[in-house]
Structure 1
Amino acid sequence: MAARVSTVAFQGIDVLDIDVQVQMTGGPITFLVVGLPDKAVAESRERVRGALHALGIALPAQRLMVNLAPADVMKEGSHFDLPIALALLVMMGILPDDAMAGYQSLGELGLDGSIAPVAGVLPAAINALASAKGLICPAASGGEAAWAGDGLDILAPPSLLALINHFKGTQVLTRPEPKLQQELPGSVRDLRDVKGQETAKRVLEVAASGGHNMLMLGPPGSGKSMLAARLPGLLPGLDAAEALEVSMVHSIAGGLEEGRLIRTRPFREVHHSATLAAMVGGGTRAKPGEISLAHQGVLFLDELPEFARGTLEALRQPLETGRATVSRANHHVTYPARFQLVAAMNPCRCGHLDDASLACGRAPKCALDYQSKISGPLFDRIDLHIDVPAVSASDLSLPPPREGTAEVAARVAAARERQRERYKALLQPGHPPVRTNAEADGELLEKAAAPDPQGRSLLTEAAERLKLSARGYHRVLRVARTLADMDNADQVRRIHVAEALSYRRVAPGR
């Protein structure tokens, strides 16, 4: 006797169809799982046995063989529990033969028969809809699956017993409702809390408006982390396509709380002790790293020179391509990683380079050594470099500024809308969407950001004197285009190029 149930495996955010085949034959009494399973999949036979025992169902005293096909694809994760159990129930005649024909299923079983949430339900739901099948998933993940579309038939039982009763007609499982992430009151920090630092606030608005990478350099306590923490409040929310992209990555990582779709841009604050695998992605299951979890959002790296050199250098390619590739001996996994890098650092190890009364005895050589930990190629990929000086006591005693996050966010939203409309008009049909100036490149950037003759002359002269690389030249042009958008100007002018050049350092320590 044999039975088959459809499920999925994951390679990055790509979904692979897997056929769960169960066969019962004569021979020694055993329960085998084959098809290149990892430890979690191999242990599923004990969870399945325990869940069926909780329902009063005993496995036949025969040789049971579970094959996960195709057999040359690595099977990872606990979500194979439910399809294996369903295939056994079909084989034993407890469920009808055709009950599983139109469904894909995934879920982890508890020893009491409950079905626990698993990672990857959202991409699995999208794959099931594309395959014209329904989806069986845990009840806690039903809201996540519902975002795949109204045309998807979803069964989200809390337990194996509820699913059996549904197919027998004694219980009805209603379709789950899609859920959105809840924004907690007070989670947005107000820019009004930052006193002084008017230049830094201006650059923060530029970074938010164009999606530009930004580096803040200043002594301890000058407000660098405060400024970075207020950037999320300036950014517009995710549109429908972006929310789906971001939520799929977080679903694979198991980070969607209660299956709720993410609607605010991610803000990932990473400690400098983070490993290369934690930053880029990896591990035994090639999980997404911090740069992919920051997709369409912000990656904040405080104390930038304290990160391991290899970890920082691994950011170079994703900053250019918007993708992170995790390579293993048996497969390559690619995750989206279109993130905005915001970094902060002290000018030297002691942090008081500009204050002779506090600086260490190695100044200024210590500053050159400390800042040289940031390589030139990585430095070149940062659009905005800003000094954040110490705040004076007179600034701290001033009342809060009248303009806060709400006012600046309105201007940022208007500037981003101009960019979105411009690139929508310039792009050819079928071209991947370009939403901000930071994403524009090549011929598209030349069309969108062509400066007037005075601006072109200034940019050419500055590029020669400062010895800007081709990348640096184009990044100045992107920032100038953003400054023009903030002024609601159709063309980039000399004043915009001049301001963009003022925000660029040539190399670390200079």
Structure 2
Amino acid sequence: MVAIAYSVAFEGIEARLVEVQCAVAAGLPGFSIVGLPDKAVSEAKERVRAAFGALAIALPNKRLTVNLSPADLPKEGSHFDLPIALAVLAALDIVPRDELARCVALGELALDGRLVAVAGALPAAVAAADEDRALICPRACGAEAAWIEQVPVLAADTLRAVVDHLTDRAPITPARPGEVVDGPQPLCLSDVRGQERAKRALEIAAAGRHHLLMVGPPGAGKSMLSARLPGLMPPLTAREALETSMVHSVAGLLKNGQISRRAPFQSPHHTASSPAIVGGGPKARPGEISLAHNGVLFLDELPEFDRKVLESLRQPVETGEVFVSRVSAHIRYPCRFLLIAAANPCRCGYLADPGRACSRAPVCGDSYLGKISGPLMDRFDLRLEVPGVSLTDLDLPRGDTSAVVAARVAQARAVQAHRFRDHPGVTVNADASPPLLEQIAAPDAEGRALILRASEKLGLSARGYHRILRSARTIADLDGSEPVLTRHLAEAISYRLPFVAGG
């Protein structure tokens, strides 16, 4: 008779239920695992065999076959160790089959029978809740999985503890969720002296989640400004925090079950590959853009990134999701993030500095920023030049603190939340579709004439026109204005000045 345990296979941040079937039959002694297992799953039989030895359980001199169903779904990861072991124990009548059928299990087995933490406990708990089953997992994963309150999470230290629970000898107390943490204290915007226009652009970007590109010489403060953007972002809502934590759970980045309400900030190096940024690799893991979901992705030295990497950002920036395609899988990851990028005006960085004349100007600047394609450049709502900082600028008084600016951003976000309450999937102005923009940010006759003049002079595309409306709507929200006035449009247009021809 076949014994069945349940586990999950991950497809992005979704967990699909997997039946772990075990049959014990007469024949040559052997232990085989079928159902598209990867190397880690195939090696589970040796870990299970050693863990059984630690429990003084001997495998029978028969043929054991474990099937992972559905058999056409790839199975990856060491988290199948525990459900395979439990299915074998049920087939040997050591644990009751009916009790096992009410649980979903995941966890890696050490050779001495200990349960080792694995990635993906949070999505697994969601899948268990959908199936109205309890979740059995390593104790190190219990606090993470317990955030899904609809499912009892049975977190154990060893395989023996799981067996004792299923046989009702020593029931396991359900785990409690981990802590909500604030994360490290964000840097304060008042540390930046001068650069008032760049600070204003950061405020607009945070208020409406508008993508921002800053171009300026080395030492102008581009990276310093960008590092202070998380302190301006509002705390994540409970739903956003759960979405972001599920991505981090699949990536194995959640520690001690702690969930943060602070927007994530990812800053990959410019040598990062396309799979590292977008997602992929042998196991199609989430990339930096998904780890930045509901937060900030900062790309410093933007032209130094590989051209293919930059072009791969064009679609995710627009849609808020990325698909990682494989021969046997088509995996979706969410990636709704605020993109902030910094670049030097040319390779040497001093294109417009009269004291350090660039010997290759203006060709140097055109070829350097020309690495950023027109379509990608067009996706930045805000583009501004950040001038160099002189020593006298360091004597300027401090501006508003991050807390003061964050309060204005939060007020603007509240206005947008009320505006879009009847529009599912739209939370900020950056999400608004062109038809919706025509309703909420329609310019008057004077404003339309201003945009037409700017369009003729700057060669704006239709996307550029709508991005001006989005930025102007956010500027008006920060200004506490219901209509979008000409001054709001003028400020939005000032952030669309092209750095390259056709931008």
Could you say which TM-score interval applies, normalised by the shorter chain? over 0.9
Spell out, residue by residue over 1:302-327, the C-alpha distance to the aligned partner (whole angstroms, 9 max, x if none): 00000000000000001111111111
1:272–1:302 Cα contact (<8 Å) kept: yes
The equivalent of 2:327 in structure 1 is: 329
| Alpha-carbon distance, 1:456 to partner | 2.2
AA aligned to 1:367 is G
| Alpha-carbon distance, 1:403 to partner | 1.8
The equivalent of 2:370 in structure 1 is: 372
Q: In the TM superposition, what are the counterparts of 1:20-35 in structure 2 within 5 Å?
A: 20-35=20-35
- Counterpart Cα distance in 2 of 1:5 and 1:166: 15
Say which is worse superposed, 201-210 or 172-181, in terms of deviation.
Answer: 172-181
The equivalent of 1:4 in structure 2 is: 4
Which runs of at least 4 in structure 1 moved beyond 4 Å after TM superposition?
none
The equivalent of 1:360 in structure 2 is: 358
| Alpha-carbon distance, 1:451 to partner | 2.1
SS at match of 1:476: helix
- Counterpart Cα distance in 1 of 2:192 and 2:4: 61
Q: For 1:414, which of 393, 403, 411 is the aligned residue?
A: 411
Unmatched tracts of structure 1, length 5 or more: none
The reply on whether 1:167 has 2:166 as its aligned counterpart is yes
The reply on whether 1:455 has 2:453 as its aligned counterpart is no
SS at match of 1:212: coil
Spell out, residue by residue over 1:119-158, the C-alpha distance to the aligned partner (whole angstroms, 9 max, x if none): 1111111111111111111111111211222x31221111
AA aligned to 2:375 is P
- Counterpart Cα distance in 1 of 2:245 and 2:54: 34
- Counterpart Cα distance in 1 of 2:66 and 2:308: 43
Q: For 1:440, which of 411, 432, 441 is the aligned residue?
A: 432
TM-score normalised to structure 2 length: 0.97
AA aligned to 2:403 is A
| Alpha-carbon distance, 1:507 to partner | 5.0
1:424–1:433 Cα contact (<8 Å) kept: no
| Alpha-carbon distance, 1:459 to partner | 1.6
Change (3 A) 1:355 1:507: closer
The equivalent of 2:123 in structure 1 is: 123
1:222–1:389 Cα contact (<8 Å) kept: yes
Q: In the TM superposition, what are the counterparts of 1:385-424 in structure 2 within 5 Å?
A: 385-399=383-397, 401-424=398-421
- Counterpart Cα distance in 2 of 1:387 and 1:25: 73
| Alpha-carbon distance, 1:21 to partner | 0.6
Change (3 A) 1:411 1:55: same
| Alpha-carbon distance, 1:249 to partner | 1.1
The reply on whether 1:53 has 2:45 as its aligned counterpart is no
AA aligned to 2:52 is L
AA aligned to 2:175 is P
1:380–1:507 Cα contact (<8 Å) kept: no
For these two proteins, the number of residue pairs brought into alignment is 502
| Alpha-carbon distance, 1:247 to partner | 1.1
Spell out, residue by residue over 1:77-125, the C-alpha distance to the aligned partner (whole angstroms, 9 max, x if none): 1110000001111112221121211111111111121111111111111
SS at match of 1:156: strand
Spell out, residue by residue over 1:452-498, the C-alpha distance to the aligned partner (whole angstroms, 9 max, x if none): 33222212332233221110000000000000000010010000000
| Alpha-carbon distance, 1:181 to partner | 4.5
AA aligned to 1:333 is I
- Counterpart Cα distance in 1 of 2:395 and 2:435: 50
| Alpha-carbon distance, 1:379 to partner | 0.2
- Counterpart Cα distance in 1 of 2:460 and 2:176: 53
TM-score normalised to structure 1 length: 0.96
- Counterpart Cα distance in 2 of 1:346 and 1:124: 44
The equivalent of 2:488 in structure 1 is: 496
- Counterpart Cα distance in 2 of 1:193 and 1:184: 20
The equivalent of 2:313 in structure 1 is: 315
The reply on whether 1:478 has 2:470 as its aligned counterpart is yes
SS at match of 2:142: helix
The reply on whether 1:152 has 2:151 as its aligned counterpart is yes
SS at match of 2:322: strand
- Counterpart Cα distance in 1 of 2:216 and 2:190: 20
The reply on whether 1:345 has 2:343 as its aligned counterpart is yes
AA aligned to 1:180 is E
AA aligned to 2:318 is E
1:268–1:293 Cα contact (<8 Å) kept: yes
- Counterpart Cα distance in 2 of 1:184 and 1:248: 17
AA aligned to 1:115 is L
Say which is worse superposed, 496-505 or 169-178, in terms of deviation.
Answer: 169-178
| Alpha-carbon distance, 1:356 to partner | 3.2
The equivalent of 1:284 in structure 2 is: 282
The equivalent of 2:133 in structure 1 is: 133
| Alpha-carbon distance, 1:301 to partner | 0.3
Q: Give aligned-pair identity as a percent.
A: 55
Say which is worse superposed, 46-55 or 75-84, in terms of deviation.
Answer: 46-55
- Counterpart Cα distance in 1 of 2:500 and 2:359: 21
AA aligned to 1:469 is S
Q: In the TM superposition, what are the counterparts of 1:188-227 in structure 2 within 5 Å?
A: 188-227=186-225
The reply on whether 1:182 has 2:181 as its aligned counterpart is yes
Unmatched tracts of structure 2, length 5 or more: none
- Counterpart Cα distance in 1 of 2:103 and 2:446: 64
- Counterpart Cα distance in 1 of 2:499 and 2:187: 32
- Counterpart Cα distance in 1 of 2:136 and 2:479: 52
- Counterpart Cα distance in 2 of 1:334 and 1:266: 20
2:4–2:97 Cα contact (<8 Å) kept: no
SS at match of 1:311: helix
SS at match of 1:382: coil
The reply on whether 1:234 has 2:232 as its aligned counterpart is yes
Spell out, residue by residue over 1:178-235, the C-alpha distance to the aligned partner (whole angstroms, 9 max, x if none): 12343345x3101111111111111111111110000010110110000000000000
- Counterpart Cα distance in 2 of 1:184 and 1:465: 46
The reply on whether 1:299 has 2:291 as its aligned counterpart is no
- Counterpart Cα distance in 2 of 1:153 and 1:231: 38
| Alpha-carbon distance, 1:68 to partner | 0.6
- Counterpart Cα distance in 1 of 2:108 and 2:239: 29
SS at match of 2:132: coil
- Counterpart Cα distance in 1 of 2:420 and 2:183: 34
- Counterpart Cα distance in 1 of 2:385 and 2:454: 20
SS at match of 1:344: strand
AA aligned to 1:21 is Q
1:452–1:491 Cα contact (<8 Å) kept: no
- Counterpart Cα distance in 2 of 1:466 and 1:360: 26
AA aligned to 2:219 is G
AA aligned to 1:501 is I
1:80–1:107 Cα contact (<8 Å) kept: yes
1:468–1:506 Cα contact (<8 Å) kept: no
Spell out, residue by residue over 1:363-415, the C-alpha distance to the aligned partner (whole angstroms, 9 max, x if none): 2211111110100000000010111111111111345x152111001000001
Q: In the TM superposition, what are the counterparts of 1:98-117 in structure 2 within 5 Å?
A: 98-117=98-117
1:122–1:144 Cα contact (<8 Å) kept: yes
AA aligned to 1:466 is L
- Counterpart Cα distance in 2 of 1:254 and 1:280: 17
- Counterpart Cα distance in 2 of 1:405 and 1:152: 39
AA aligned to 1:66 is V
